[in-house]
Structure 1
C-alpha cells in the first residue's frame, strides 16, 4: 500500500510539474530572422475540420540554433496570459528583423513546448530589445509562483491533518468501538443459543 501511495504521489507531482513547465513563461535572447503567416488545420467544438491563419516568427539564438514560434492570442483561455495583441507582437518582430552581420538581440517571452510530430510550437507572449546577447535573465516570477504553490500546499496539508485529527479520527474510533461492541454482543448471543441447543440435544 505504501508503494502505491508513493507511486500516486510521483504521478501527481509529475503532472503538476509538467503543467507548470508548459504554462509558466520562459525567456530567450534571440535574433529575429523573419516571420510568415501559415494556414493551419484545426477542429471546431463540434468536431468539424477548419483552417486558420497563424503568424510564425523565425529566430536564431545566441548559439546559432534556429527555432520557430507561433504568435497567437490566448484570449481568456489557458494559460491565463490574456494576450490580445498578436498584431503588436508581429509589428515588433518585423521591426527587429536583423542579419548575422548586424544583429538586433531581443528577449522573447513565451510558453509551451515544441513537438514536431504534432506540429506544436511555443507561443510568443511579448518581445522587447535585449541589452545584449549576454543579458542575464532571472526567472523571478516563476520562482515566486512555485514558492506560493508550495506554501499553499503545505498550509492545505496542515489544515487537512488538523481537520482529520479533530473530526475524522474520533469518528473512526467511535465506529470501530461500536463495531467491536456489536460483534461482542452477537458472539455472546451466539454462544448462549449454541449452549441452549447443546442442552436440548443432551450434549
Structure 2
C-alpha cells in the first residue's frame, strides 16, 4: 500500500507541475523573422487553441490564426500563435492580438542585423501534435543575454505555497478536533462491543459446560 500511496501522490504532483508549467508565463529571447495568418482546421488538438479573437464569430472548426515566426539564439526555429484569450482560461485577459501582430511585424530582423526581442507566452510547442505556445506580449530586448527574472511566477507560486500550507494546517486541525475524536469514539464503541461479545461467548461456553456436567450427573 505504501507504493500505491506514493505513486498516487507522484501522479498528482506531476499533474500540478504540468498544469502550472503550461499556464504560467514564460519568456524567450528570440529574433522575429516573419508574421503570418493561416487558416487552421482544428482537430483532436483543439483543446490547445484559444477562443476566437474578441468581437469575432463563435468558435468554429476552422478559422484564421495569426502566427509569429522566430529564430532562437541556438538557431532553432520557434513559432508562436497569437490568439486572444478573452475572459476564459487561462486568465491573461488578452484582447490585443491584432496590435501584438503589428508590434511583432515591426520588430522583424535578419541574421545579418539581428534585433533580439523578448516574447512572453504560455503553453508548449509540440511538432507531433501541432501545438504552439500563445504569445501574449513582445518587446525589444536589451540584448541576447538579457537576464529575465520571472516575478509573476515567483509571486503566484509563493501564494500557492502559502495557500497550500494554510490548507494543510486547517485540515490537520479539522482532523485532530473532529475526525480523530469521532473515529476514536467509534473505535472505543467497537472495542466495547467486542469485549461484550467476548464476555457473552465466554458466558455461553461456561453455561453450556455446566449444562453438560448436569447431564452427566443425571446419567451417573
Query: Which residue in the other structure is 1:31 paired with?
Result: 31
Query: Which residue in the other structure is 1:141 paired with?
Result: 152
TM (norm. structure 2) is 0.84
Match of 1:136, SS state, is: coil
Match of 1:154, SS state, is: helix
In the alignment, structure 1 residue 119 sits paired with structure 2 residue 141: no
Equivalents in 1 of 2:132, 2:8: separation in Å? 30
Query: Which residue in the other structure is 1:42 paired with?
Result: 42
Query: Which residue in the other structure is 1:76 paired with?
Result: 87
Q: 1:160-195 deviations in whole A, cap 9, x for unaligned?
A: 112211111111111011011111112222332333
Query: Which residue in the other structure is 2:75 paired with?
Result: 64
Query: Which residue in the other structure is 1:172 paired with?
Result: 183
Tell me the C-alpha RMSD between the 2 structures: 2.1
Match of 2:61, SS state, is: strand
**Structure with greater Cα Rg:** 2
In the alignment, structure 1 residue 14 sits paired with structure 2 residue 25: no
Match of 1:21, SS state, is: helix
Query: Which residue in the other structure is 1:94 paired with?
Result: 105
Equivalents in 1 of 2:74, 2:187: separation in Å? 67
Equivalents in 1 of 2:87, 2:211: separation in Å? 82
Query: Which residue in the other structure is 1:5 paired with?
Result: 5
Equivalents in 2 of 1:113, 1:73: separation in Å? 16
How far has the Cα of 1:139 moved from its partner? 1.4
How far has the Cα of 1:98 moved from its partner? 1.4
How far has the Cα of 1:109 moved from its partner? 0.2
In the alignment, structure 1 residue 52 sits paired with structure 2 residue 52: no
Match of 2:66, SS state, is: strand
Query: Which residue in the other structure is 2:121 paired with?
Result: 110
Equivalents in 2 of 1:5, 1:62: separation in Å? 43
Q: 1:53-95 deviations in whole A, cap 9, x for unaligned?
A: 1111100122322111111111122211111111011111111
How far has the Cα of 1:198 moved from its partner? 3.7
TM (norm. structure 1) is 0.90
